[in-house]
Structure 1
Amino acid sequence: MTEETSSSSSYLRRLGVWSGAAIVVGGVIGSGIFRTPATVAERTSSGVPLLALWVLGGLLTLAGVLCYAELGSRRPHAGGIYLYLREAFGSLPAFLFGWTMALINYPGSVAAVAVTFADYACRAVSLPAFWVKPVAVGAVFFIVGVNLFGIRAGSLLVNLFTVLKLAAIAMLLVVGLVLAHGHIGNVLAPDPSHVISGGAWIGALLPVLFTYGGFHYLNDMAGEVRDPQRTLPRALTLGLVGVVVCYVLANVAYLVGLGHAGLAASKAPAADLMSNIFGPSGATVMAIGIACSTFGYCSIAIAGGARVLQTMGADGMFFRSVGQIEPRWRAPQVALGVLGLWTIVLILTGTFDQLVNYTTVGEWLGHAFGIATLFWYRRQFGAQSSPYRVPLYPVLPFVFVATVLGVITATVINTPHDAGMSLVIIALGVPVYAVWRNWGKRRSV
């Protein structure tokens, strides 16, 4: 369906390969790569296993991305995991995913990252801490306002800030590899202060995988991808490969510039690396880079989350008005407004951190069951030709699902309280689903 022939109640397919890849890059790269490498260094013994973990995490995530590429090419419509779960397993699992993610995790994570953006932005221009929340609220208002004018305006914003965040990472590479007074031997040298057992690799892999999260947002917006059967696989693969390259090279730069022990001891490795070379002005420049990176993530998460909410509304799983698509700009304006206002409430009340922690298990369960729908699609429609099929099927989807279940198990062991609350939130969705269905039936009578 082309832009010209599409119904005014549907989305316009305007996203090409490069815009799609920018959404993948922008959805994955937030603030994690500027902080998480220090946590991974604490749990490894030298640069070699540290880099191996980032490569391994990238390969595991790539397996999931390839599965999402087939799912998106089979069902190139808005909604992503929600849509796949609804078709494969029914409306209740789909609602529980939407309840957990679109109403809690998405706005909670946007609120958290918006505050991170505001914190770094205020540092960069020397504003007092009082301004952090107002700046975060202003950022959400601005992002929602731009996205009200459709995917073209939203994608321009995403493309701009994806370029800026890549420029920040490129700056790290130049400083770490060219200007820092380190040497490549720092990458290979063992760190006697960190002797880690083999079992600790799982604990070190967890933050790596979390830093690779966010690759699913393009599937949430699949209804606006041009020639989706060809574009989605290319954009997903190109974007994730670019992220893996950036992450590995950034860690090489940290190791060369700070050494493994220095990286493990750092609270803010990107800022420390820049400060070592350029002093306070270097830390200010990096603060601007991190602010750009986090702002770009917020833009993508708001756009993707609104598409999930809109799909739920169109299905009768949320307010019908939220399911509307504005006919002129072809944007889910009501869903954007609802998501934006709820995010602002979370920012002002400061309740977002716990919400994000409490829904982590639900998010990863959504990934596991979302990829598992691929087995259902293959069984139901395996005889139909598909423009893209995930290679090494069923090995890659099985490996990804097994990895995600391992992450969930490790999360439950490491943070049983947060994991338990995540399961409680999911369970609370069952009576909400029943009430909503009954209310919907009464309205239709």
Structure 2
Amino acid sequence: MTETNSNSYLRRLGVWDGAAIVIGGVIGGGIFRTPATVAERTSSGLPVLALWAIGGLLTLAGVLCYAELGARRPQAGGIYIYLREAFGPLPAFLFGWTMALINYPGSVAAVATTFADYACRAAGLPGLWVKPLAVGAIAFIVGVNFFGIRAGAWMQNLFTVLKLAAITMLIVVGLALAHGHLGSIAEVDTAHPVPPGAWIGALLPVLFAYGGFHYLNDMAGEVRDPQRTLPRALALGMIGVVLCYLLVNIAYLVGLGHAGLAASIAPAADVMSHVFGAHGATVMAIGIACSTFGYCSIAIAGGARVLQTMGADRMFFRAVGQIDSRWRAPQVALAVLGIWAIVLTLSGTFGQLLNYTTVGEWLGHAFGIATLFWYRRRFADQPLPYRVPLYPALPFIFVCTVLGVIVATAIDTPGDAGMSLVIIACGVPVYGLWQWWERRRAA
């Protein structure tokens, strides 16, 4: 399809729009809770910071690989497109089956509920408002994205700025509490001995908190000069995320201490409360609400484009593959994804679904990066302004590490990992039935 085709996307996203999508897609609610889990599984602040640095470097390696993949195939669909070209339609369908129909709407439902919970705390509303507010947020985001990528990008940029403002405030307050005692980060927490090897389990939540960097590739069909813009936006956004995560963890450690962080269920609110009391916790609740709302906006926009690409490939209902000729938005896909996310929100089943699809998501990342080897062999002479550095080491390290994380997850939670594989396997007969139906309809 060409840029002038009325059933195609328009390239309207620049470098800063793309970087905002990367930052907003990664920073949701995880950084406000996950550090406590990491502290529980370590003995002092230094291993905590080391784990966040390792996770950041590993994710940055994956992002650099995604930058080349996006430059090679700058169109909507992201991993789905790469898997379809390199490994065929069945693996691509299984990824879309797991992500676009379960993981994306499930994550939207979960994070929208988190948004509503913190928004109610900040406004002093009772808990019975949480579900209606979460449903309203999803409907509002879908409605804004109906008017095209520029409207969606404006909203994403606004909430990315707000979440960065909240994080900056948290960092400043946390470091102000240090009073020059940064050396306390290295003190060993003898009250909570940690068995050897526990840090490996602590790497799992760190990597999950770094997830979400793929959303820009899902929207690559709307990026201007994608061969140059995608690598710059991905690298700029991910470097910003890593710096934010490291500084936030330093603020937690100097503000609460390692033991205090490990015992906290809301470390961000605890740090703010030390300085501003109850008002500080309210301010932090507003910041977390902005952060989670921004994530929902990006997840809905990215997930809808994967769903639309599947529909255009006749891997899903044809109507879902349509793009509105006026606003150049996948309105049917947006509506389908939004309605399903609302159903999951009201049913409250999203939490277990997300646990079940986590392995599938990271398998998708591993195989998505692995397609880079196929592209390098098949299109060895293709001119590109950007190629991933240290090839093949970076993609090889990323794929092997992610597969190792998946194995560790399966050992740690075999039930969830097993159900994830069952959900993926269930896509095989669905794919067969869908192909049979398409052939029958064509005949």
User: Structures share a fold, TM > 0.5?
Assistant: yes
Alignment of 1:230-309 (within 5 A): 230-309=228-307
Match of 1:325 among 309, 323, 326: 323
Kept in 1, the 8 Å contact 2:177–2:254? The answer is: no
Deviation at 1:204, TM superposition (A): 0.9
Kept in 2, the 8 Å contact 1:45–1:191? The answer is: yes
Find the residue that maps to 1:283 and give its secondary structure. Answer: helix
CA, structure 1 residues 340+42, in 2 after alignment: closer, same or farther (shift >3 Å)? same
Task: Give the distance between the partners of 2:43 and 2:342, measured in 1 at CA.
Answer: 42
Amino acid corresponding to residue 15 of structure 1 in structure 2? L
Deviates more, 1:188-197 or 1:149-158: 188-197
- 1:135-170 CA-to-partner distances (Å, cap 9, x unmatched) read 000000000000000000000000000000000100
Deviates more, 1:190-199 or 1:8-17: 190-199
**Equivalent position of 2:55 in the other structure:** 57
- 1:184-223 CA-to-partner distances (Å, cap 9, x unmatched) read 1222222212333441121111111010000000000000
Find the residue that maps to 1:317 and give its secondary structure. Answer: coil
Kept in 2, the 8 Å contact 1:183–1:257? The answer is: no
TM-score w.r.t. length of structure 1:
0.98
Root-mean-square deviation (Å): 1.1
Deviation at 1:183, TM superposition (A): 2.4
- 1:345-403 CA-to-partner distances (Å, cap 9, x unmatched) read 00111110111001011001100100000000001001222221100000000000001
Runs of 4+ in 1 over 4 A off after TM superposition: 179-182
**Equivalent position of 1:94 in the other structure:** 92
Q: Which runs of 5+ in 2 are unaligned?
A: none
**Equivalent position of 1:400 in the other structure:** 398
**Equivalent position of 2:160 in the other structure:** 162
Counting matched residue pairs gives 443
**Equivalent position of 1:82 in the other structure:** 80
Amino acid corresponding to residue 284 of structure 1 in structure 2? T
Task: Give the distance between the partners of 2:248 and 2:341, measured in 1 at CA.
Answer: 31
Task: Give the distance between the partners of 2:337 and 2:179, measured in 1 at CA.
Answer: 47
Amino acid corresponding to residue 5 of structure 2 in structure 1? S
Task: Give the distance between the partners of 2:180 and 2:165, measured in 1 at CA.
Answer: 22
**Equivalent position of 1:361 in the other structure:** 359
Find the residue that maps to 2:351 and give its secondary structure. Answer: helix
Deviation at 1:182, TM superposition (A): 7.2
Amino acid corresponding to residue 400 of structure 2 in structure 1? A
Kept in 1, the 8 Å contact 2:409–2:417? The answer is: yes
Determine if the alignment matches structure 1 residue 16 to structure 2 residue 14: yes
Alignment of 1:362-381 (within 5 A): 362-381=360-379
Amino acid corresponding to residue 100 of structure 1 in structure 2? T
Kept in 2, the 8 Å contact 1:271–1:287? The answer is: yes
TM-score w.r.t. length of structure 2:
0.98
**Equivalent position of 1:28 in the other structure:** 26
Amino acid corresponding to residue 293 of structure 1 in structure 2? S
Amino acid corresponding to residue 225 of structure 2 in structure 1? D
Kept in 2, the 8 Å contact 1:182–1:259? The answer is: no
Deviation at 1:301, TM superposition (A): 0.2
Amino acid corresponding to residue 330 of structure 2 in structure 1? P
Find the residue that maps to 1:359 and give its secondary structure. Answer: helix
Alignment of 1:108-187 (within 5 A): 108-179=106-177, 183-187=181-185
Kept in 2, the 8 Å contact 1:181–1:257? The answer is: no
Task: Give the distance between the partners of 1:182 and 1:124, measured in 2 at CA.
Answer: 32
Task: Give the distance between the partners of 1:267 and 1:186, measured in 2 at CA.
Answer: 21
**Equivalent position of 1:43 in the other structure:** 41
Task: Give the distance between the partners of 1:251 and 1:331, measured in 2 at CA.
Answer: 38
Deviation at 1:7, TM superposition (A): 1.4
Find the residue that maps to 2:190 and give its secondary structure. Answer: coil
Task: Give the distance between the partners of 1:440 and 1:260, measured in 2 at CA.
Answer: 58
Task: Give the distance between the partners of 1:384 and 1:420, measured in 2 at CA.
Answer: 40
Kept in 1, the 8 Å contact 2:218–2:302? The answer is: yes
**Equivalent position of 1:222 in the other structure:** 220
Task: Give the distance between the partners of 1:312 and 1:35, measured in 2 at CA.
Answer: 34
Task: Give the distance between the partners of 1:234 and 1:161, measured in 2 at CA.
Answer: 21
Kept in 2, the 8 Å contact 1:101–1:363? The answer is: yes
Task: Give the distance between the partners of 1:235 and 1:100, measured in 2 at CA.
Answer: 27
Task: Give the distance between the partners of 1:419 and 1:278, measured in 2 at CA.
Answer: 42
Task: Give the distance between the partners of 2:247 and 2:361, measured in 1 at CA.
Answer: 28
Kept in 2, the 8 Å contact 1:182–1:257? The answer is: no
Q: Percent identical across equivalent pairs? A: 80
- 1:308-355 CA-to-partner distances (Å, cap 9, x unmatched) read 000000000000000000000000000000000000000111110111
Task: Give the distance between the partners of 2:213 and 2:184, measured in 1 at CA.
Answer: 31
Q: Which runs of 5+ in 1 are unaligned?
A: none
Amino acid corresponding to residue 84 of structure 2 in structure 1? R
Task: Give the distance between the partners of 1:182 and 1:123, measured in 2 at CA.
Answer: 33
Task: Give the distance between the partners of 1:409 and 1:170, measured in 2 at CA.
Answer: 36
Task: Give the distance between the partners of 1:268 and 1:181, measured in 2 at CA.
Answer: 22
